[in-house]
Amino acid sequence: MDGSFSGMFKLTGSNYSMWTSKMGEMLVCRDLWLAVQFGGGKPDKIDASTWEVMHLKTTTYIRCFIDMSLYNNFNYETQADVPWKKIWIMLETKSALNRVFIFRKIVRLRYQDASSMDEHVNAFQGLIIQMVSLEIPLANEVLALLMLGSRRDSWETLVVTLGNSTPEGKQLTLEMPKSSLLNEEA
């Protein structure tokens, strides 16, 4: 994609909060946010054909940044507010299904050899943000253990060292494995 898309990334199940913020900014910068904001109710100052084109551009633009694993939920939408609301319902509402989905994502998150540790930590942080927004309480130590569990097996020495360096009776904090993993990669 050309430079006009720089900095934008595809929506996955783990980056919803960051994606909606960034996508909203991109739509505002391209004068497409009105289509999401007003949905089917056309503002008086815009003629019908311009409004239709704006919806088409907005829905197309949104779909360009949806991962294929989610794409089929949005591929036939023509009203810009509809995919925006569907995304919110799928990934933000506090339903039991969404809570299970996010919890499963964080438990199954694994470091991919082709990515950087920074990308992995950002994906983990994105899932934590979603868990907080869905009001899923997890102790800091549980998050630290999940972070350590998501590392590659070849980093087992670092995990053991970090575990042994924690004073007896003290709990791991998320910051400990996060900074250690980033420092180790550097």
pLDDT tens string 131-169: 888 888 888 888 888 888 887 777 778 777 777 777 776
Q: Where are the alpha helices (DSSP H) in 39-150?
A: 48-64, 68-71, 81-91, 96-108, 117-133, 140-149
Q: pTM of the predicted model, to two decimals?
A: 0.59
Task: Say if CB 134 and CB 14 are below 8 A apart.
Answer: no
